[in-house]
């Protein structure tokens, strides 16, 4: 493929600008070997803030994660902070995960902040992302950043930006920061020379304060005392969870936690897994194998920056199975509300939040306990936004999304696998105290509210061509929405980009009430829901499927599960998404 003039101009800028010799040599090597597609992918755009911030493959180029793209983003943030908080001492907190180059990138960012006269609180070593969110509010910072690419493969790294409420940046700050970054015409404008006197290392004090807040979430400490020897297997998947999760579990009183040794050491190469993603069974296999050997009660796995958690339990046949993100979010919600109700802790101001692509069983549970349930766009910055809007007027209990992220309590304003692990272990202890397993608790929950089955198809479309394919798919779905899917009429189209909800039968239109986001939802006559959403952080387009079937008794669980699976399979086949 021929390089466009814009791409060629960017390449020339990097070859002739103030970039180090190694960077220029890497570019020249691609030119010399006629790797035009690689050059195009590396330079066809600048890395942009999506739902998770700045994220990309590490390497040379404007579309890669490196000291220069990180530097320009940080300088842009500095410029925005200096304008937003004039005549104030500006403070930022900085953390990083276990990925390759994460510590180096954190030091570079700290240096740039300090060179701009900003006070920096840098964690002395790797820490979970949720602790960074906590640190911002604890230290009264105006902003914060964490170097991480979450659960992406090892070649990725990223840069999440947070505002003074501890949440990831939202409008108008996200767009304004991008404007400031784009206004930087040269890396010469980036202040790389650190002022070490402004960089302060933090660690133990923040750890203790954060863990104390996690402990406060416990609702049934007596059950934990009785079931303190609950057999838990935990793996941090070579990530930051090892620093906090075992401590949190011990602090709640659990005394029988087994860590997967081969995955306990932080390592950016993630040598024992193809991808450090607890959503994937292969990533959790070592933990599941250990659990089987030990005859454990619960498996917990966190991703590299410890904001997502996956769990494994034994089913009624004694086989180890994974509980998906929707099921875990529903179980946590049901436990939090039922336990609070039993303990007399409920108030008429309590509320939960979940996203538009998360199982609607969360809303059913909330209604059963007369708790308000809000739905919002995908991303915990939107959940945090609702907490911010209702602060002082209502009481946030918990929330989550289908992609294995949960936030319990409001002392952290992002998904938090550390506190989730603690409450999941407590939930398992309470279930065992009552003679049940978590799997049995899940079956009973669905028998109460109806059986929901969800499924996700994620199509990866890499590079410039892939981005164009994703745009074409969404454009076609909007221009030619299906009238029927798997023989069922499509009764409603929700377009979150335009903010319009259209009844396809009556033609009546209403509004979503949410800010614009590139998501489409199709509601079928039987209540099934299909969502299409390009990822904001990965080169993917995701299709979410949700169906509901009546479940009168746990005895019928497997039969109803198969019926729901068949319905989803028919929908996928009709939409030609295999």
Q: Active-site residues: which are they?
A: 150
Q: Distance between CA atoms of 360 and 527, rounded to whole angstroms?
A: 11
- Is residue 53 within 8 A of residue 159, CB to CB? The reply is yes
Its sign, for the CA torsion 69, 73, 74, 78, is positive
DSSP state of 426: H
CA angle 67, 68, 73 (to 5 degrees): 100
Q: Distance between CA atoms of 552 and 83, rounded to whole angstroms?
A: 60
DSSP state of 170: -
- Is residue 286 within 8 A of residue 298, CB to CB? The reply is no
CA angle 450, 456, 457 (to 5 degrees): 150
Q: Distance between CA atoms of 136 and 129, rounded to whole angstroms?
A: 11
Q: Distance between CA atoms of 223 and 225, rounded to whole angstroms?
A: 5
- Length of the chain, in residues: 578
Helices first, then strands: H and E counts in the chain: 18, 23
Q: Distance between CA atoms of 359 and 382, rounded to whole angstroms?
A: 17
Q: Coil, helix or strand for 345?
A: coil
Q: Distance between CA atoms of 39 and 252, rounded to whole angstroms?
A: 52
Pairing of strands 520-524, 119-123: unpaired
């Amino acid at each position: 493929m021929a390089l466009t003039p814009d791409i060629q101009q960017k390449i020339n800028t990097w070859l002739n600008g103030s970039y180090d010799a190694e960077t220029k040599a890497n570019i020249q090597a691609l030119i010399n070997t006629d790797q035009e597609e690689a050059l195009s992918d590396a330079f066809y755009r600048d890395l942009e803030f999506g739902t998770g911030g700045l994220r990309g493959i590490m390497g040379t180029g404007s579309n890669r994660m490196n000291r220069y793209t990180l530097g320009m983003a940080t300088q842009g943030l500095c410029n925005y902070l200096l304008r937003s908080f004039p005549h104030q001492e500006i403070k930022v907190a900085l953390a990083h995960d276990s990925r390759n180059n994460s510590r180096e990138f954190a030091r570079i960012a700290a240096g740039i902040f300090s060179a701009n006269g900003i006070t920096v609180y840098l964690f002395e070593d790797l820490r979970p992302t949720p602790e960074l969110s906590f640190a911002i509010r604890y230290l009264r910072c105006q902003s914060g950043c964490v170097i991480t690419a979450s659960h992406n493969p090892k070649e990725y790294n990223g840069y999440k930006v947070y505002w003074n409420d501890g949440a990831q940046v939202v409008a108008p700050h996200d767009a304004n920061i991008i404007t400031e970054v784009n206004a930087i015409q040269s890396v010469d404008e980036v202040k790389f020379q650190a002022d070490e006197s402004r960089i302060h290392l933090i660690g133990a004090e923040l750890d203790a304060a954060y863990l104390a807040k996690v402990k406060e979430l416990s609702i049934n400490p007596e059950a934990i005392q009785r079931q303190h020897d609950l057999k838990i297997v935990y793996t941090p998947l070579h990530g930051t969870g090892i620093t906090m999760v075992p401590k949190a579990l011990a602090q709640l009183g659990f005394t029988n936690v087994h860590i997967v040794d081969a995955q306990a050491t932080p390592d950016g190469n993630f040598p024992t897994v193809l991808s450090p993603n607890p959503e994937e069974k292969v990533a959790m296999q070592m933990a599941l194998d250990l659990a089987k050997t030990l005859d454990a009660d619960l498996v917990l796995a966190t991703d590299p920056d410890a904001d997502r958690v996956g769990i494994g339990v034994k089913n009624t046949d004694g086989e180890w199975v994974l509980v998906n993100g929707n099921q875990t979010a529903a179980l946590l919600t049901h436990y939090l509300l039922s336990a609070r109700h039993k303990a007399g802790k409920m108030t008429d101001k309590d509320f939960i939040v979940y996203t538009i692509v998360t199982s609607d069983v969360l809303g059913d549970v909330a209604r059963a306990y007369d708790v308000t349930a809000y739905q919002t766009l995908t991303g915990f910055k939107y959940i945090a936004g609702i907490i911010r809007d209702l602060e002082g007027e209502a009481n946030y209990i918990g929330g989550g999304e289908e992609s294995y992220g949960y936030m319990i309590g409001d002392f952290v304003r992002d998904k938090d696998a550390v506190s989730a692990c603690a409450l999941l272990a407590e939930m398992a202890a309470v279930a065992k105290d009552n003679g049940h397993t978590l799997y049995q608790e899940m079956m009973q929950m669905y028998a109460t509210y109806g059986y929901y089955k969800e499924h996700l198809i994620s199509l990866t479309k890499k590079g410039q061509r892939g981005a164009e394919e994703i745009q074409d798919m969404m454009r076609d779905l909007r221009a030619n929405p299906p009238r029927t899917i798997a023989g069922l009429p499509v009764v409603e189209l929700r377009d979150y980009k335009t903010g319009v909800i259209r009844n396809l039968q009556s033609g009546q239109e209403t509004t979503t009430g949410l800010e614009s986001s590139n998501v489409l939802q199709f509601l079928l006559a039987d209540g099934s829901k299909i969502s299409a959403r390009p990822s904001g952080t990965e080169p993917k387009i995701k299709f979410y499927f949700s169906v509901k079937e009546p479940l009168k008794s746990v005895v019928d669980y497997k039969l109803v599960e198969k019926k729901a699976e068949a319905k989803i399979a028919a929908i996928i086949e009709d939409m030609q998404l295999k």
